[in-house]
Amino acid sequence: MDNDGHPSVSLRASRRPDRLNNNFEIKVADGGDTFFDSDKSSSDYPIKIIWKRGFIRLLLVGGILWMLLILAVLIFHIWTCQSSLVFLSAICNKDSTVYQMLHTMGLVTPPHRCSIPLANDPEKVIIPEKKSPSKFVQSLSYFEEDDINTNESNSSPLFGGHQSWKQREESFKLKSSMKIHCGFIRNGGAEMSQKDIEYVTKCKFVVASGIFDGYDTPHQPSNVSPRSKKLFCFLMVVDEVSLQFINQNVTVKEDSDGGQWVGIWRIILLKNPPYDEPRRNGKVPKILTHRLFPQAIYSIWIDGKMELIVDPLLMLERYLWRGKNTFAIAQHKHHKNIYEEADSNKRRKRYARPLIDLHMKIYRYEGLEPWTPLKQTKSDVPEGAIIIREHTPLNNLFSCLWFNEVNLFTPRDQLSFGFVVYRLKNNFKFFMFPNCEYNSIFILHPHTREHSSKIEWVKSLNEFKGNNSGLKESRGGLGLWTPYPADLSKVVLPRVARTSKAG
């Protein structure tokens, strides 16, 4: 009785397949799938589940393996870039986006020096037959006389001219034909003798350097090939104080035309320095190389405290012709952000602190954002001691605009470079090469004495008043004392993260 009233669990289980069969038979009667099709689908169901689970697991395992592979590649990249072995260091591509990303994240510390991928033989370097095509600007001319309307003070002519704020603003608008301020206003200073003018007219390839206020003596380049010695003019631009110092300390020879030589360097004297500040005077041959040597097609600038140890023809091949560049400059070792560089200049007393702040407020008001990896440039701050360029109209325009900023504001050219790039809306293209290559181009020599100027110690604008009014430069940086056509009092400079001790 109990067995009849309460069927066993095993009996219930044995009846379940019968119910399933009945259901399948009903489907057949209703015109559904046949019994054999239903039986086939029921047997495939567990396989589908297993297949789906396996596929998901396969995706997960594949994703993990792929991430591990990427991580391994990154670790290898970091290892090769940090290695002191030449073979491993050569594998590291310091121009790659990956390297720049790792450097930005702080995972890679660039070495102080690294090997430069130079061509093997200067004799086999092929020099381009044609100049690079000119983009945006076809014709460029310069103001040579001061505009009476802008020279309201009726002062003597200035080397950089009395450029108005409106003229400055218009100069950033690219046109096919342009006329701009670019130094060398008549009777403004920095005159060359006739014998030097005649000599430089034959110079198509130039290595230029400069010494002002007697801070250095010429350092002879090494590893210069016979071909480069014939091809290049090595021109050392000096003022009268430096020429006197050089004559007292090194051997100066004179040729039959009256030209003065120190080894391979032909001395080019600039009479009547245009500025009170020697550092500002040094920017004339450095930035306005195309104005001093108008016949030059290519030029390499190297600061006077440096000894060039790389063949100049190989430098042009590496930094210009190989990548079809027309302007090359090194990336700054510590800073990418102009506002960080400005903070560094204040900390190291490179110029009056309140004037650096005013300079940066003008740039901030005009829209300059702090550098980020989203910008199209590797950095906004260059190492300006070496500049390699082809003298195209656009490059010449850039150099003029860069110089005008140095003329109007502080003489710290590293603060103005990235701003001019920004104002030209990335139409100016340049190659910014790794800092470790930059340090492999030269041997650095100490100055003969330390440079110091009273204006560098100024901490407040009040220090320029009264008896200290003589601290102001009389012929440079006048844009810092000319009323700006906007209210800068509410401009707040971006916060600066001090990322390096050397900063």
Mean pLDDT of 90-117: 67
For the segment 237-265, what is each residue's pLDDT rounded down to a tens digit? 999 999 999 999 999 999 999 999 999 99
Q: Which of 31-35, 95-99, 335-339: highest mean pLDDT?
A: 335-339
Query: Which of 418, 427, 429, 348 shows the shortest CA–CA distance to 383?
Result: 418
Q: Is the pLDDT of residue 48 over 90?
A: no
Q: Does the structure show a pLDDT above 60 at 219?
A: yes
* Average pLDDT rounded to a whole number, residues 96-111: 63
The pLDDT assigned to 20 comes to 42
Checking if the pLDDT of 35 tops 80, the result is no
Can you tell me the distance from the alpha carbon of 23 to that of 18, in angstroms, rounded to the nearest whole number?
Answer: 9
For residue 298, list its beta bridge partners: 205, 390
pLDDT value at 151 more than 70: no
pLDDT exceeds 90 at position 378: yes
Q: What is the pLDDT of residue 58?
A: 83
Q: Is 291 helix (H, G, I), strand (E, B) or coil?
A: helix
Tokens coding 48 = 């589908």
Residue 69: what pLDDT?
A: 87
Q: What pLDDT, on a 0 to 100 scale, did the predictor assign at position 14?
A: 43
28 pLDDT band (50/70/90 cuts)? very low
- The pLDDT of residue 306: 97
User: What are the two backbone dihedrals, phi and then psi, of residue 279, each rounded to the nearest 5 degrees?
Assistant: -65, -35
pLDDT at 426: 84
Give the closest residue to 223 by CA, choosing from 312, 98, 306. 312
What is the C-alpha separation between 182 and 198, in angstroms, rounded?
22
Question: pLDDT tens digit string along 162-202?
Answer: 999 999 999 999 999 999 999 999 999 999 999 999 999 99
Tokens 């596929």 correspond to: 55
pLDDT reading at 88 higher than 90: no
Residue 192: its pLDDT value, please? Answer: 96
pLDDT over 80 at 95, yes or no: no
Q: Supply the pLDDT for residue 89.
A: 53
Provide the mean pLDDT of the chain. Answer: 86
Please tell me what DSSP assigns to residue 322. Answer: T
Q: How confident is the model at residue 52 (pLDDT cuts 50, 70, 90)?
A: confident
Nearest alpha carbon to residue 308 among 394, 223, 221, 389: 221
Mean pLDDT of 273-290: 95
DSSP H or E run through 364: helix 353-365
Residue 289: name the closest of 389, 187, 413, 211 by CA: 389
Output helix, strand, coil percentages for the chain, rounded to the nearest 5.
40, 15, 45
Return the structure tokens found at 119: 């061509």
Average pLDDT over residues 295-310: 97
What region, left, alpha or beta, does residue 282 occupy, with left being phi > 0 and alpha being psi -120 to 50 degrees? alpha
The CA distance from 227 to 275, in Å, is: 38
% of the chain exceeding 90 in pLDDT? 66
What mean pLDDT is predicted for residues 227-243? 97
Lowest mean per-residue pLDDT among 30-44, 133-147, 368-382: 30-44
Q: What is the mean pLDDT of residues 215-229?
A: 96
What pLDDT is attached to residue 19? Answer: 45
Supply the pLDDT for residue 9: 41
pLDDT above 50: residue 424: yes
Phi, psi angle pair for 331, to nearest 5°: -75, 140
* Residue 44 reports pLDDT greater than 70: no
Higher pLDDT, 49 or 395: 395
For residue 387, what are the β-bridge partners? Answer: 301, 329
Residue 110: which of 74, 78, 71, 76 has the closest Cα? 78
pLDDT attached to residue 83: 55
The helix (run of H) or strand (run of E) holding residue 270 is strand 265-271
Bridge partners (DSSP) listed for residue 390:
298
Cα(308)–Cα(305) distance, rounded to whole angstroms? Answer: 10
